Structure 1
């Protein structure tokens, strides 16, 4: 499987009633790709107590997000469907329910870095423990590092 070191930029926009919040994060990670499947692994808050290792598994019409660290979750987002899973924080475990309204990505698996995943956009409505938490929009940009070699 092809492995490429990448720079990852994640922009999360949360809309709750009339309030809107945008969070921007950057990290380095690894992108793996084959045929129509991609795996993107990166950490946020690396080396800190709040560090979270994130793995994105992207297949046609489905995105699975796996987070391990200060928060733990494994949730699949399927366009037009309701998904349920558990979201665990240091404060407890909550049921997580989503309705995915948008799932788009740009890129094609292949032997060239420029053909791999370049961007991902997902929009979904979120409920935690039965309470509406808002509409989430996550935009991810994936850029191969200038000195990266295909592995």
Structure 2
């Protein structure tokens, strides 16, 4: 059965912190939301700092969240609450090994599926450096 996509506006806010550092980032874009009953798939494009296009696909299911980015930046990051996962981040300036330990995942959407919010709290270790605390908040709303 084909699922008709809904046009949405997506915003992703990330907060990164450790003892001496804090950085907040925000990206937004227009995209599509597919509600497959047991999962939500959000697809949207962003521009990197050089103006190159990066395609984002976020899949939200009961037991995990997967964020896949393709374009000038490539990664496939998996979040499973109370689990550690490993992946690789490909950037024009180099490749980084990522170790992600997910602490919390919360997802909610309104009754008619017109808008929703995903919240993830996790620690991320890049290339064996000290892990940093991250939070990611993704919101979408029908256009």
Superposed CA deviations along residues 96-141 of structure 1, whole A, max 9, x for unmatched, are: 1010001110027xxx8x3255000011100111112511101111
Could you tell me which residue of structure 2 aligns to residue 103 of structure 1? 105
Larger RCO, structures 1/2 (Cα 8 Å, 6+ apart): 1
CA distance in 2, matches of 1:56, 1:132: 26
RMSD over equivalenced CA pairs, Å = 1.8
Q: Deviations over 1:2-43 (max 9, x none)?
A: 310001111111112232221122211100011121110011
Per-residue CA distance 1:62-119 (angstroms, 9 max, x = gap): 00110011210112110000000111111222211010001110027xxx8x325500
**Gapped regions of structure 2 (runs ≥ 5):** none
Matched with 2:123 is: 125
| Contact 1:2–1:34 (Cα < 8 Å) also in 2 | no
> Which residue of 6, 9, 20 corresponds with 2:8?
6
Which of 89, 92, 116 is equivalent to 1:90?
Answer: 92
Per the normalisation by structure 2, the TM-score is: 0.89
- 1: CA distance, partners of 2:51 / 2:24: 23
TM-score of the pair, normalised by structure 1: 0.85
Distance 1:79 1:2 in 2: 29
Q: Take 2:114 and 2:101, find their aligned partners in 1: how far apart are those partners?
A: 27
* 2:46 is equivalent to residue 44 of structure 1: yes
How many equivalent pairs are there? 140
